[in-house]
Amino acid sequence: MIAIASDHGGFAMKAQLMEHLTERGIGFDDLGCYSEESVDYPVYAEKAARGVAAGKYDRAVLICGTGIGMSMAANKLPGIRAALCSDCYSAEMTRLHNDSNILCLGGRTIGIELAKRILDIWLDTPFSGMEKHARRIAGIAALEK
Ligand code: RB5
C-alpha cells in the first residue's frame, strides 16, 4: 500500500496519477489535498512521511508545484529518504542506490506522461541491496542523531 498526497500545485497531477495507479491495480490512500484551494505543502508531506516512517505505507508519492518544498519537508522526518525526480534515470537510480521511500514530483515542472513513466520506474525498481549502498544509507540515518 502506498500513500499519495499533494498541495494545490500538485492537485491536478495527483488526480491523473491516482487514475494511473488504479489502472495498474496498485493500492493507495489519497491523503489530500482535495481541491485546488491554496494549502501548505508541509501539512501533506508530514501526513505521508509519518505514515511511511511508521510502516503504515510501504512508500509514498508527494506532489507540489516544483516537488522541492515537499522533498524538503518530508526529509525532515527520521527514516524518510525522499527523492525529487524529473527524469527516468534518477528515478531508477534513487531506488537502486538510495532505497528512496518517497518520490516527489513537480506538478508544474514536468508533463503527465513523463510523471507516469517516472512513477512506474520508481515503483518497479527494487533496492539493489549492495553493501556499499546499504552502508551509505546507514550513513544518512546516522546524520539524524
Ligand atoms: C505553491 O505555490 C508552491 O510554492 C508549492 O507548490 C511548491 O512548489 C513548493 O515547493
pLDDT in tens, 9-51: 999 999 999 999 999 999 999 999 999 999 999 999 999 999 9
CA of 109 to the centre of ligand 1 (A): 11
DSSP string across 86-105 = SSHHHHHHHHHTT--SEEEE
Answer for the pair 98, 137: CB distance below 8 angstroms, yes or no.
Answer: yes
Residue 145 has a pLDDT of: 85
Instruction: Give the Cβ contact number of residue 87 at 10 Å.
Output: 13
Taking each helix axis as running N to C, give the angle between helix 11-24 and helix 112-124, from 0 to 180 degrees, rounded to the nearest 10.
50
Query: Phi, psi at residue 35, to the nearest 5°?
Result: -160, 180
| CA-proximal residue: ligand 1, atom 6 (nearest) | 65
Distance CA 112, CA 126 (A): 23
Q: Please identify every stretch of the chain with a pLDDT value under 50, giving residue numbers as ranges.
A: none
Residue 114 has a pLDDT of: 99
Is the pTM above the cut of 0.85?
yes
Instruction: Give the Cβ contact number of residue 128 at 10 Å.
Output: 15
Burial 36-51 (b: 16+ CB within 10 A, else e): eeebebbebbbbbbbb
Ligand 1, residues 7, 43, 105: which to mutate, most atoms within 8 A of Cβ?
7
CA of 9 to the centre of ligand 1 (A): 6
Residue 98 has a pLDDT of: 98
Distance CA 56, CA 70 (A): 19
Instruction: Give the Cβ contact number of residue 54 at 10 Å.
Output: 9
